[in-house]
């Protein structure tokens, strides 16, 4: 997706993975394949650090760079990254600029040993922690909160008897939403924020343990999903097994709802909920809302005369496809693919002209005229942020002969920024913050527009407690 198009979407911050296997094994290629499975979570930079649990302390090898996983790592890199313990990372920046100095893992040697750290999320009090650290004489070389995390753990390790105690002491000072994996010379330590805002899961393949942001990454290396790391849990993984510390576990949780709406891969399972099933049920909820309003009915089979008739349901690739299937299933309106998606459009670092911005959406998605000509279309996407991409998509559909385009969004309107590692723009950049639904409908050129309601999340994820702050302003961490 070109840069300007990606700015009309909400982005996750990062994906993390960690592996530890028997002595003599090499985990670098498994880390590589795991990062490929997590590529959707970040496309700006990628990195891998590995070590040998039988080798000398401080023997960390790291390769990281700007770009996609396949662009950063060559075969020679993976052959050089030899070790049976390692961590990997893909990044989309929300805290800190997009540059190589902010790429992860953060690998450091210090007086008591070494560590490499990968992090997904946002540490809300990172600035205060960084100021403390700089007054202690710790120089910072990046603008990311991940470096702050590494320094905090190192600072605590100086005064504690083990890396586990250091991580525990550091965790007590953190505020925000995060999933962190720390590689020490002999073990992996993972921690998840007390509300479980950011995801983290555990898997195993024979004698190899895997920690990752999503179960899809565990499956990609032929491992079996074991369980989610609990909100607030700190897990230590060695070849001797797993130890759990629940010191920060609490009754109240607030899992990020946008993992289910958009971020996670459809084949992932998070906190007991199938991502695909959640999106399918979101589409069903949209259809049920329309049925209650008698807003839309199948064009071929009749129905109430109070609403508009629709000939087919379609989704915007790839974010709206599963919800569109759910809508079709519940409404009885046929589902159809109305776009061809060009999967070979790379990222562009050229600043486009206004004309090129308008043309970019047509490079990524092309309409199938034979499917849409003369049809009344119900189009589903996961969100509207600024509205620019949706406006161009609707123009393209109508230019190809679509009679009507009715838009349904499988999330509520974005009204508030996120502080937990999701790149929701500021309120002034959110079209819904100062425009009514009718205003937005006119701006994007849709024949009708409706959103999922916050109360419909229960249909998506059941009783799972959710963070919905970007829709209602109710932040679990103040």
Give the pLDDT mean for 10-31: 89
255-271: per-residue pLDDT in tens?
Answer: 999 999 999 999 999 99
| E-state strands within 260-323 | 269-270, 273-274, 296-298, 308-310, 312-315
Segment 318-327 mean pLDDT: 96
Residues 29 and 152 in one domain: yes
Q: Does 264 map to a domain? A: no
Say if residue 188 is in the same domain as residue 299.
no
Same domain, 218 and 299: no
Mean pLDDT of all residues in the chain? 89
Shared domain for 233 and 174, answered yes or no, is yes
Of 24-33, 222-231, 409-418, least confident by mean pLDDT is: 409-418
Residues 279 and 225 in one domain: no
pLDDT at 394 over 70: yes
Average confidence (pLDDT) over 66-92: 95
Contact of 89 with 38, CB cutoff 8 Å? no
pLDDT at 142 over 70: yes
Q: Is 218 helix (H, G, I), strand (E, B) or coil?
A: helix
| Position 65 confidence tier, pLDDT thresholds 50, 70, 90 | very high
Q: How confident is the model at residue 355 (pLDDT cuts 50, 70, 90)?
A: low
* 342 in the same domain as 234: no
Q: Which of 217, 251, 285 is the last residue in one of the domains?
A: 251
pLDDT of res. 421: 75
Domain range enclosing 54: 3-251
212/279 same-domain check = no
Among 55-59, 307-311, 316-320, the range with the most confident prediction by mean pLDDT is: 316-320
Q: What is the pLDDT, as a whole number, of residue 361?
A: 61
Per-residue confidence (pLDDT) for residue 177, from 0 to 100:
94
pLDDT of residue 401 exceeding 60 = yes
Could you tell me if 282 and 150 lie in one domain?
Answer: no
pLDDT at residue number 295:
81
pLDDT at 83 over 80: yes
Same domain, 358 and 224: no
pTM of the model: 0.90
**Banded pLDDT at 471 (limits 50, 70, 90):** very high
Annotation marks residue 14 as catalytic: yes
Does residue 75 carry a pLDDT above 80? yes
CA gap 20, 203 in Å, rounded: 11
pLDDT digit string, tens, across residues 269-317: 999 999 999 999 999 999 999 999 888 778 753 333 456 789 999 999 9
What does the alpha-carbon distance between residue 426 and residue 433 come to, in Å, rounded to a whole number? Answer: 9
Residue 263 belongs to a domain: no
Q: Indicate the pairing of strand 376-381 with strand 404-409.
A: parallel
Q: Is the predicted pLDDT of residue 327 greater than 80, yes or no? A: yes
**Looking at residues 112-130, what average pLDDT do you find?**
92
DSSP state of 262: I
> Which is nearest to 256 in space by CA: 461, 12, 478, 468?
468
Q: How far apart are CA 130 and CA 149, in angstroms?
A: 9
Which is higher by pLDDT, 99 or 463?
A: 463
Mean pLDDT for the stretch of residues 244-257: 96
The SS3 assignment for 287 reads: helix
Mean pLDDT over residues 380-407, rounded? 94
Q: What is the mean pLDDT of residues 40-57?
A: 92
State the Cα–Cα distance between residues 269 and 227, nearest whole angstrom.
10
pLDDT recorded at residue 302: 38
For position 304, what pLDDT does the model report?
39
Q: Is 191 exposed, middle or buried (0-12, 13-18, 19+ CB in 10 A)?
A: buried
343 and 467 share one domain: yes
Longest dimension (CA), the chain: 77
Question: What are the beta bridge partners of residue 121?
Answer: 178
Tell me phi and psi for residue 31, to 5 degrees. -60, -40
SS3 of residue 445 by DSSP: coil
Predicted local distance difference test score (pLDDT) of residue 172: 95
Q: Are residues 449 and 339 in the same domain?
A: yes
* Number of structural domains in the chain: 2
Give the integer Cα–Cα distance in Å for 106 and 89.
10
Residue 25 domain-assigned?
yes
Q: Has residue 111 got a pLDDT over 50?
A: yes
Q: Check pLDDT > 90 for residue 246.
A: yes
Which single residue is written with the structure tokens 């990606």?
Answer: 6
Averaged pLDDT, 81-101: 81
CATH number of the domain bearing residue 206: 3.60.20.10
* pLDDT tops 80 at residue 135: yes
Of 16-25, 153-162, 293-302, 465-474, minimum mean pLDDT range: 293-302
Same structural domain, 238 and 177: yes
Structure tokens at 320: 């709206």
Percent of the chain scoring above 70 in pLDDT: 89
């Amino acid at each position: 997706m070109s840069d300007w198009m990606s700015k009309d979407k909400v982005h996750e911050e990062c994906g993390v993975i960690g592996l530890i296997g028997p002595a003599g094994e090499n985990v670098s290629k498994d880390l590589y394949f795991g990062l490929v499975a997590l590529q959707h979570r970040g496309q700006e930079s990628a990195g891998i650090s590995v070590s040998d649990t039988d080798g000398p302390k401080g023997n960390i090898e790291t390769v990281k760079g700007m770009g996609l996983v396949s662009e950063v790592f060559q075969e020679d890199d993976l052959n050089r990254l030899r070790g049976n313990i390692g961590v990997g990372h893909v990044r989309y920046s929300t805290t800190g600029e997009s540059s190589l100095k902010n790429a992860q893992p953060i690998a450091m040697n210090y007086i008591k040993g070494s560590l490499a750290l990968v992090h997904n999320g946002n540490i809300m009090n990172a600035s205060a922690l960084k100021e403390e650290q700089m007054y202690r004489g710790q120089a910072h070389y990046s603008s990311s909160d991940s470096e702050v995390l590494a320094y905090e753990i190192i600072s605590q390790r100086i005064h504690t008897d083990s890396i586990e105690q250091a991580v525990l002491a550091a965790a007590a000072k953190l505020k925000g939403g995060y999933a962190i994996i720390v590689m020490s010379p002999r073990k992996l330590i993972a921690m998840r924020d007390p509300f479980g805002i950011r995801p983290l899961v555990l898997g195993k393949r024979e004698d190899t343990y895997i920690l990752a942001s999503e179960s899809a990454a565990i499956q990609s290396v032929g491992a079996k999903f074991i369980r989610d790391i609990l909100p607030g849990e700190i897990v230590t993984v060695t070849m001797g097994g797993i130890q759990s510390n629940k010191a920060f576990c609490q009754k109240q949780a607030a899992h990020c709802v946008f993992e289910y709406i958009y971020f996670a891969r459809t084949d992932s399972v998070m906190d007991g909920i199938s991502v695909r099933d959640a999106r399918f049920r979101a589409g069903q909820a949209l259809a049920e809302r329309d049925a209650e309003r008698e807003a839309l009915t199948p064009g071929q089979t009749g129905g109430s005369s109070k609403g508009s008739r629709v000939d087919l349901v379609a989704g915007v690739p790839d974010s709206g496809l599963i919800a569109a299937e759910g809508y079709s299933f519940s409404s009885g309106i046929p589902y159809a693919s109305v776009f061809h998606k060009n999967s070979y459009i790379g990222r562009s670092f050229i600043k486009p002209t206004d004309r090129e911005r308008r043309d970019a959406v047509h490079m990524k998605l092309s309409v199938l005229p034979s499917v849409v000509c003369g049809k009344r279309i119900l189009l589903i996407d996961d969100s509207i942020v600024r509205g620019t991409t949706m406006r161009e998509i609707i123009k393209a559909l109508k230019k190809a002969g679509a009679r009507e385009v009715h838009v349904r969004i499988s999330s509520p309107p974005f009204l508030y920024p996120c502080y937990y590692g999701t790149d929701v723009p500021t309120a002034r950049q959110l079209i819904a913050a100062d425009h009514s639904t009718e205003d937005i409908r006119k701006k994007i050129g849709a024949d009708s527009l409706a959103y999922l309601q916050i109360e419909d999340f229960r249909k998506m994820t059941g009783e799972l407690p959710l963070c919905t702050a970007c829709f209602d302003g109710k932040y679990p961490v103040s």
